[in-house]
Structure 1
Amino acid sequence: MADLKAHAERLRELHRGEMLVLPNAWDAASAATVVEAGFPVVATASAAVSAMLGHPDGEGAPWQEMFAAAARIARAVSVPVTVDAEAGYGMGPRELVDRLLETGAVGCNLEDTDHTSGGLTDAHAHAEWLAAVRSAADDAGVPIVINARVDTFTGSGGIPEHDRLPEAIRRGSLYRDAGADCIYPIGVRDKDTIATLVKELGCPINGNASDDLDLATLRAVGVARVSYGPRFYRAALAGFLSGIKELLP
């Protein structure tokens, strides 16, 4: 437990300094490769882990399989591990925290999509749940780093495009005040929008690197953390496909 606490504190510290770059892993081998390359943290991507396990994203994989994969990743490395825990798999706050700590993870993504309806959860109810997760982590003695994902830009909930930014700010503010360490407005693709979120929320923001938002741009606007989701998993498969096609007559 002391090691987990130290890893959690290190992960939180890395959100406050130089921008934390997270090329997401999907299994023990890819996690070890991330560390070998020199990155100080391993983050998982649920889309990649689910696909590797043969299930669709969006809580399509049983949580037992997802957490078992996370445990194998954590055992393979000696750095902090943060897990994409999707929407929490219907677990209560204390169970979720206990399961995460059992895997060896000290951080988690928690999204505000309701995978039953396909829409967004009620923001106030989700904030209360995040606050309970924060409290459960405190009770467990490990300050788990909560990366609260805001899904307004994904099109979930049918929010009109012109309302997505103000709704993201509203939701992000609630989640920040509930105890989230970082806010993750997934799907933002333009500089002005991510810069506005950094300014308005005043807390660490997780951005996505893309062709339109490179690392230099994200760093310039003050993004604290950058993730890649399943990009490198898909690139690995594309490389595999290209290589084996050369074997065909």
Structure 2
Amino acid sequence: MMGSELYEKFMALHTRPGGLVLPNAWDAPSALILADAGFEAIGTSSAALAAILGRIDGRHAVSREEHIAHAEVMARATNLPVNGDFEDGYGDTPEDVAATVDAAIEHGLAGIGIEDTTANPDAPIRDFDDAVARVRAAVQAADRRIVVTGRTDNYLQGRPDLDDTIRRLTAFAEVGADVLYAPLAPDLDSVVKIVTAVAPTPVNVLMSPADRVLTVPELQKAGVKRVSLGPELYANALTALEQAAKALRRGDIAAATSGIGFGRIYDLVASAS
């Protein structure tokens, strides 16, 4: 599928009534399980990818090439639109962000997220003008061939400023971002204010507001058009591994091997080959 066709297909999922749930996978089998469950698109998780590689997310510890290769595996396995959670766009300048977008399009991704982060824990959020310039460069490079999500990490980085969050998201929309995202807004009222301020641009929410976990219908009622889970499904899988490890340490082989079985994984992978 050509970039413009993939853009239209993925964007249509955001603009239809209810929008979409975009679960985040971390390898081919997890992507195939999500596809088999009926999800129509999947996302990568920069946090899960960094953890898999034994690195820390958001510190420029993962390269553009590594993340693109990771996303491409899942896109090829499932033939679904894949949205790349590409941190700050992998580069110091807006031109670097544009190059990342070009590479993502070349490798068949349907969407790409660009954060306003810096990878510097002492000053984690970029200045407003720099953040906007990077999203503008991403949109210009995308040219409606890949869905661009403009994201501010104010809340994730300990900057609970709703006014600045809305200012940034509004500016991202004004330079052409297709989707907007502010992970972990503090409560549903803040989510509604964000959705209202940037309408009609679709808004992504990470799981729920920070104060309580809502259902997908509750988020849709608030106007949210995309719900993602970041690294939470990966963490859920590792929870099962931790429980199995403890059972095995106790000598309980049956409890340690009570999962879906490798035959199921083999069948999923074989069906995609």
Q: How does 1:48-67 map to 2 (within 5 A)?
A: 48-58=48-58, 59-67=60-68
CA deviation after TM superposition for structure 1 residue 144, in Å: 1.0
CA RMSD after TM alignment: 1.6
Cα distance in structure 2, aligned partners of 1:33 and 1:52: 18
CA deviation map 1:37-74 (0-9, x unaligned): 10110111110111112211113223322221112111
Match status 1:152 vs 2:154: yes
CA deviation after TM superposition for structure 1 residue 8, in Å: 1.5
Q: How does 1:53-132 map to 2 (within 5 A)?
A: 53-58=53-58, 59-90=60-91, 92-116=96-120, 118-132=123-137
Match of 1:7 in 2: 6
> Partner letter of residue 11 of structure 1?
F
Match status 1:205 vs 2:210: no
Counterpart among 157, 171, 183 of residue 186 in structure 1 = 183
> Partner letter of residue 174 of structure 1?
A
CA deviation map 1:115-155 (0-9, x unaligned): 135421122222122122211122xxx52111111111123
Cα distance in structure 2, aligned partners of 1:176 and 1:96: 20
> Partner letter of residue 51 of structure 1?
A
Q: Say whether the 8 Å CA contact 1:207–1:223 is kept in structure 2.
A: yes
SS in 2 for 1:169: helix
Match of 2:232 in 1: 231
> Partner letter of residue 197 of structure 2?
E
CA deviation after TM superposition for structure 1 residue 30, in Å: 0.9
CA deviation after TM superposition for structure 1 residue 100, in Å: 0.6
Aligned length: 240
CA deviation after TM superposition for structure 1 residue 216, in Å: 2.3
> Partner letter of residue 153 of structure 1?
Y
Q: Say whether the 8 Å CA contact 1:108–1:147 is kept in structure 2.
A: yes
CA deviation after TM superposition for structure 1 residue 88, in Å: 0.8
SS in 2 for 1:110: strand
> Partner letter of residue 25 of structure 1?
A
Distance 1:118 1:74, change over 3 A: farther
CA deviation after TM superposition for structure 1 residue 102, in Å: 3.0
CA deviation after TM superposition for structure 1 residue 174, in Å: 0.5
- In structure 2, stretches of 5+ residues that fail to align are 252-273
Match of 1:166 in 2: 163
Identity %: 35
Cα distance in structure 1, aligned partners of 2:236 and 2:69: 24
Cα distance in structure 1, aligned partners of 2:2 and 2:172: 27
Q: Say whether the 8 Å CA contact 1:74–1:103 is kept in structure 2.
A: no
Q: Say whether the 8 Å CA contact 1:190–1:213 is kept in structure 2.
A: no
Q: How does 1:133-148 map to 2 (within 5 A)?
A: 133-138=138-143, 143-148=145-150
> Partner letter of residue 92 of structure 1?
D
TM-score of the superposed pair, with normalisation by structure 2:
0.83
Cα distance in structure 1, aligned partners of 2:107 and 2:52: 18
SS in 1 for 2:180: strand
CA deviation map 1:178-232 (0-9, x unaligned): 1101110111141100011111111211112244333222111100100100000
Match of 2:270 in 1: none
